[in-house]
Structure formats: structure tokens, C-alpha cells
Amino acid sequence: MPSNYQRGLLAEYVSQFWMRCKGYRSLFRRFKTKVGEIDLIMVKGKCLVFIEVKSRNSYERAAEALTSKQKNRLIRAGQFFIARFPKFQEYAIRFDIILVTPWRLQHIENAWFNDE
């Protein structure tokens, strides 16, 4: 039985592959900053997308797994990324989530605005 860590790595890999099939270009996977880690950083056109991947046994549990604290951490990590790579300052910025369950992948664009 794979560990939670191994399942998380697999979910990130599958999500990255799926997004590439949808026309996104992968910049980084598991990008670490001093304020937190971003699972996937991808680009489509002139849009820079920071993606959090949540893998759970059910869709509901995956959807509930991203807390406000984690969202704020991802925003700070995204700001850190843009400061480190200023060429992306002119890009549109988006925070997405991919919910992974044993039988489903759900990509939610602008996830921070969909839950308000």
C-alpha cells in the first residue's frame, strides 16, 4: 500500500501530465520557497498558473482539504516566485486547484474565487 506521500507524488505527476495534455507548459513541480511549496507552476499563453493538487479518497474530502491558511501560504509563495522571476510580472496570475480521487480529476480554475 503506498504511503500518503507517495500517493501525493503520483497525484502531482498525473495532474501535471493532464494539464500538459490540455495545452499548459510546465515550469516547475514542487517549487519550494521559504514561505511554502507550490505543487505545480504552469503557463498557458500569457497566464501564469499556480496549482495546488489535493488527493483524497472522495471528491468531497479533496475539495475540503485546502484551508484558508494554505491559500494564504500559496499566495505568498506565488509572490515570492514572481519576485524571483520578474519576467512573469506581466503575465495574468491564477491560482487553481486539481482535486484527485481514485476515479476522477477535477481542475478548478481561479479556485480562490469559486469558494467565496
**Sign of the C-alpha dihedral computed for residues 6, 98, 62 and 28 taken in this order:** positive
Residue at grid coordinates 511549496: 37
All domains of the chain, ordered by start, with CATH?
Answer: 4-114 (3.40.1350.10)
pLDDT score for 1 = 64
pLDDT at 115: 43
Which ranges of the chain have pLDDT less than 70? 1-2, 113-116
